[in-house]
A and B are shown apart, each in its own frame.
Chain A
Amino acid sequence: MNRVHPETLLQVEDLHLSFGANAVLRGVDLAIVRGQLLGLVGPNGSGKTSLIRAVTGLLPVAPGQVRIAGIDLAVDPLAARRQFGFAPDPTRLPPALSGRQALSVAAAARGLDTTPASTLELAERLGASRWIDQRIETYSLGTRQKYAILIGLIGDPPLLVLDEVMNGLDPISSHELKLELIERCERRHCGVLLATHGLEIAPTLLTDAALLHEGRIRHRWGSVELGHWRHADPGAFERAVVAALRSDPAG
């Protein structure tokens, strides 16, 4: 197959967003290439969730440009959306459907006939399959979170957009999820954008990290730095983030 494989999966250029007089994003530039697992870190209220919502087309932005695998999200939203998977807010999952039914609906939305076996297998690994035929309204937050992640990963899209998905996951499942994300990036050349405030997980999972503060990307760390911190003590990355925030003239 001679399909074009663009190297850059996400390209955000000069993205602005305001709610009324309140400017949340003030010119964000961000890129993710294949194989990159980029952590979006930043203090509460720094605009992480707004950026995620803008990247997935849930918030209209102007001015600015979002390209997913080379496709402009504003020009061809359908083709752009085929290139990424997004884990929805776990509290928004349909309460009266079972987990299995929600997965079939998500599969249908991605043009698949049935829920892929790999998704069900991942549900098993995440320890979520015990509840699969139970209505979502009876799930705890952690189990809901797992189904939201499964929905985001369904159909193996090249780019994964995940917002605070590690929240509330037990250590076993968050380890399984880490393995899955790393496997997708290394073997299948996917890219991941992961917004997180849990800095402990960062060095062991991410290949890249970007600090969002006051509506702009203030600092970016590459795989070399993160690799270095991986073997240092767990607080090293946290200290680096705090140092970057302190040295930020805007902060």
Chain B
Amino acid sequence: MALSPTNPDLLVRDFLRHNRWSQWRARTAETAFSALALLVFAGFALWVGDSLWTRLLAPGTPWARPLPAALVGVATAFAIVARARSRGQGLARVHASDWLAAMPLPAGARRNARARLVGSDAALWLLGVWLTLAWAWLRADQSAPVLVVALALGSLGGSAIAWLMPGAPSEPAAERIQRRERASAVAIAAGTQGLRLLGAALEPAAARLPRSAPWVAFAFLLFPQSTPLIAVPGLVLLFTALTLSLDLIGHWHVRYLADQAWLDAQPLLPRHLFRAYLPYLTRRTLVLSLIFGACLHVLGAPLLFALALTVMLAAAVADAVLCGFATRRAPGRFPMLLILHGVIVVATTQVLPPALPLVWLGCALTAWRQGNR
């Protein structure tokens, strides 16, 4: 295998890492702040997760039985493979025509580099999953909880497949997406309505990105044991609405950065570009949060509670979008800002829930002003 450090793609990765590292070092204050926010978030996740694990691993839950546990393991493997596959295909598409495409590279060199890049990504995931499992195992009363074993095996299997699978592009799929994007560009041009129509381009872009749908399967884990079968469709719908909201933010963010990249040659007002996506985002968010709230209500939540959660979901999506807007010049800070806002909101709910709308408004306004700078 030509996996020497002189593999140009791996060299590019090393250089990028080096550049990112020197950038972090150059901005000490910001890096320290981000690290702190990450630590606070991790602490919060530990605190929430702790009670979750004790409940999930209690004897007598369906997950203590081999078959449901095995299903969860398979879902884990599937999610990891799906993620690796879409990443490998993306890289293969880039490699087919990038600046090194005409270089005298051995046939396997670029495929190996892809496998390495995708594989190290999968390895990181595996590490994360196993650390979580180790923690769960420590908290569990049994010596070897079936669910933990299933998740460990599933993630290991998924990562192994991701390692061994060379990222081959599926050409017809790539072409189809390009054709659709082109069609939407034509639609925008024909309308000559300016920026408003940029949002329309989000629809085909959404098809291109990896869906987080496989993760919906994990929602089953959270269903209380006593869930009646009749409530399951409602619950599935509810979690689907949640994951689709996540997808919505992800798709929008990728598209927004891409649009900004080619529109940046224009001395363009940031908020005019931002406004372009609002109709699309508002429509989607409204529909998804209404489905979410309706499901909650149908499943037995009091009307007021369901309404409050509906508003919170919509507010969360809006906040995430504003964070994307605020960090448009340095997209690397997007997750950090999201985490920070998350920590602030959670802290407020714990300390002084009535202040939540005000705090949220404060976060949103800061992000808006930051983005407009």
Contact = CB atoms under 8 A, between A and B. Distances in A.
Q: Do A's and B's CB atoms come within 8 Å in the complex? A: yes
Interface in B253-299: none
A78 B105 contact: yes
Contacts, number: 69
Contact of B15 (A77, A93, A101): A101
Nearest to B7: A108
Contact of A88 (B7, B102, B104, B107): B102
B40 interface: no
B104 A110 contact: yes
Given A78-B107, A92-B99, A108 B16 contact: no
Interface string B225-257: 000000000000000000000000000000000
Contacts of B6: 108, 111, 113
A71 to B, nearest CB: 11
Contacts of B7: 108
A81 B102 contact: yes
Contacts of B101: 58, 88
Contact of A109 (B15, B103, B107): B103
Q: Which of B6, B97, B102, B106 has the most chain A CB within a 10 Å cutoff? A: B102
B100 interface: yes
Contacts of A108: 6-8, 11
Nearest to A152: B102
A89 B99 CA distance: 7
Interface in B90-122: 97-107
Interface residues on A, range: 20 to 34
Q: Which of A106, A108, A113 has the most chain B CB within a 10 Å cutoff? A: A108
Contacts of B104: 78-79, 81-82, 109-111
A106 B16 contact: no
B19 A109 contact: no
A161 B103 CA distance: 12
Interface in B14-29: 15-16, 19
A110 B103 contact: yes
B235 to A, nearest CB: 43
B99 A93 contact: yes
Given A94-B12, A96-B19, A105 B100 contact: yes
A88 B99 contact: yes
B15 A81 contact: no
Given A89-B99, A93-B99, A94-B99, A109 B105 contact: yes
Interface string A197-223: 000000000000000000000000000
A37 to B, nearest CB: 20
A224 B132 CA distance: 76
7 contacts: A78-B106, A82-B104, A84-B102, A88-B99, A92-B98, A96-B19, A148-B99
Per CB-CB distance, the 5 closest pairs between chain A and chain B, nearest first, are A81-B104, A109-B103, A88-B99, A56-B102, A86-B102
